[in-house]
Amino acid sequence: MPNYTAPVEDMMFLFEKLRDNKNYNELEKYSEVSSELVKDILEEAAKINQNLILPLAIAGDENPAKLENGVVRTPPGYKEAYNKYIEDGWVSLSCDPKYGGQGMPKTVSAFFDEMLSATCLSFKLYSELTIGAYNCISHHATDEMKEKYLPKMVEGKWSGTMCLTEPVCGTDLGLLKTKAVEQSDGTYKISGQKIFITSGDHDLTENIIHLVIARSSDSPSGTKGISLFLVPKFIVKDDGSIGPRNGVSTGSVESKMGIKGSATCVLNFDDAVGYMIGPKNKGLSQMFTMMNLERILVGIQGLGLSEIAYQNSLSYAKERKQGKTNNTKSTNGADFIIEHADIRRSLLNMKSIVEGERALCFWLSQQTEVSLYHPDEKIKQEASDYVSLMTPVVKSLFTDLAMEITSDAMQIHGGYGFTKDQGIEQLYRDNRITPIYEGTNSVQAADLVFRKLSNKNGNIINNFMEMVKTECASKSEKVQIFSKQLEHYLAILSKFNDWIADKSKEGKDDVSAAANDYLKTLGYISLAFSWIKVLEVSFKEYDSNKDFYEDKINTAKFYFDKILPRSEYHYKSAISGSSNIMNFKFN
């Protein structure tokens, strides 16, 4: 089993030193969230993840969730761990106190999400979708519906799902076949089949609240005719108690490459009672409240798995002896592999990416809170635009790089990495879904270049770049060395923006073929921006904690020298165009 130590020191560094968003710090609702409180939360989170959740990863991989007599059974230990998990209030961490939540900001809950992703992604998914459903209901449902369903979901006694995909449609939801027929009492009868439903059924909670998109019988075709419905596994009575079983059944549980402890279900809806959330035919925009949150969380999943892969690779490299280096330190014929240049390169690749991602995610968490709660509408909109821009970047780049990092971790472990003994190959398998679900990374890249670079409020990407340039210009002399390097790549991104704008007028193939390269160029530059913020603090605070800040400065140097140049490669690849791709004759 892999070992894991939650990176609480790095998380607290971010919370204490990089909580520099003026607009975020103006949010009155978080004025009492002190460093002392956050440290207490993270230390307790570390304990439950390291001691209780981590062992569940192998248990779920060796004993996957399975369907027995119409009921999905979770792996050994899941029930007991889940009961302790909700007893300690972890589901409620970021939820509104009005419904029994603790009201912590995403600047805190994102750290907990990372820990859970690192220790057991399969277990995490049972509560993660609950929080997504909670957010959707709290934003779009009636007060009556909120009062009826949210307290139990916040408590963790009831869970939630997101039911979109069908056999006939994945990303293209306009093709969905699930029907909703209105009844005389205002409810709907929902009929259809949904596939790949994470946590679609299980034995951890008393009830499961499904959020289902369907088409009303009098609605138009395509995405304009999609509505959103709340469909409970068990009907909830007026007094809040659980009534009879609804018309929802599990057809099967998928046999998967990874995250085997998570129940990925085929769900059949047969005249199931459903309650419409929000206006008719507006379901897709409502569901995106949940989907956009999930996309950021999927990026955090990649970050968490990258962290545990790095920790175990570093530990193994310090213990394993193999071969001699040019400046051998061995007296018995072999050096520890951490002395080899290529192993050190791989480890620094991991470390510089992971710490940069965590810093970028913390910046994005502040922007998210501002976009939701700041009283100034203009400030809210600017933050919302940044969140919109960065959502596909975080989802795609973090998960793609997690594939690289978990693969490198297997390589460092050699033959032991390929076997099940160390648990490293499971990290690779568990992460493999993250570039696929919640919209594949290619879909995210297309969404970025065709929809997110600008909107009715203006040119978002230019606003982002100007913000980065302004921050870079304000940094100290020692940071300016790095800022000038970043300015070179910002100039490349600017040329890339112009190329995208120009090619968009002529035809979509060139832009479509370049979308993944564009996302990565923007992503690597965004990570460099987060490192600039870290460096400013590191030089300023250097004498207060020399070992910690020396480590940060040297890790940043590696990132700027070895990782950031990838962004230029992606630009050069993209502007070669698509003619060879589209004209190639496949035999």
Per-residue pLDDT of the chain (587 residues; tens, 9 = 90+): 899 999 999 999 999 999 999 999 999 999 999 999 999 999 999 999 999 999 999 999 999 999 999 899 999 999 999 999 999 999 999 999 999 999 999 999 999 999 999 999 999 999 999 999 999 999 999 999 999 999 999 999 999 999 999 998 877 777 889 999 999 999 999 999 999 999 999 999 999 999 999 999 889 888 889 999 999 999 999 999 999 999 999 999 999 999 999 999 999 999 999 999 999 998 888 877 777 888 999 999 999 999 999 999 999 999 988 887 777 766 667 888 999 999 999 999 999 999 999 999 999 999 999 999 999 999 999 999 999 999 999 999 999 999 999 999 999 999 999 999 889 999 999 999 999 999 999 999 999 999 999 888 789 999 999 999 999 998 899 999 999 999 999 999 999 999 999 999 887 899 999 999 999 999 999 999 999 999 999 999 999 999 999 999 999 999 999 999 999 999 999 999 999 999 999 98
Report the length, in residues, of the chain: 587
| Nearest Cα to Cα of residue 230 among 245, 253, 214 | 214
Q: What is the reported pLDDT for 214?
A: 95
Q: Map out the domains of the chain as residue ranges.
A: 8-140, 157-284, 440-587
Residue pair 196/256 in contact (Cβ under 8 Å)? The answer is: no
How far apart CA 197 and CA 208 sit, in angstroms, is 12
Write the CB contacts of 415 (distance below 8 Å, at least 6 apart in sequence): none
pLDDT for 175 equals: 83
List phi, psi (to 5°) of 282: -115, 20
CA distance 367 to 22: 10
Give catalytic residues, as residue numbers: 438
Q: Kindly report the pTM of this predicted structure.
A: 0.96
Question: Pseudo-torsion of CA 367, 372, 378, 383, nearest 10°?
Answer: 20
Residue 166, C-beta contacts closer than 8 angstroms, at least 6 positions apart = 175, 176, 177, 178, 192, 193, 194, 195
Contact 135, 69 (CB under 8 A): no
How high is the pLDDT of residue 331?
60
Side chain identity, residue 318: K
**3-state class percentages of the chain: helix first, strand second, coil last, to nearest 5:** 60, 15, 25
Q: What is the CATH number of domain 157-284?
A: 2.40.110.20
Phi then psi for residue 264, to 5 deg, are: -100, 110
- Closest by CA position to 327, among listed 344, 313, 349, 305: 344
- The reply to whether 8-140 and 157-284 are identical in fold is no
Alpha helix segments (H runs only) across 440-545: 441-447, 460-473, 477-506, 508-540
pLDDT of residue 330: 65
The answer as to CATH 3.40.50.2300 being correct for domain 8-140 is: no
What pLDDT sits at residue 288?
Answer: 77
Distance CA 538, CA 553 (A): 7
Distance CA 294, CA 300 (A): 10
Each residue of 306-333: b (16+ CB within 10 Å) or e? Answer: bbbbbbbbbebbeebeeeebeeeeeeee
> Which residues, other chains included, contact 551 with Cβ-Cβ below 8 Å and sequence gap of 6+?
none
Looking at the DSSP bridge assignments, the partners of residue 226 are 215
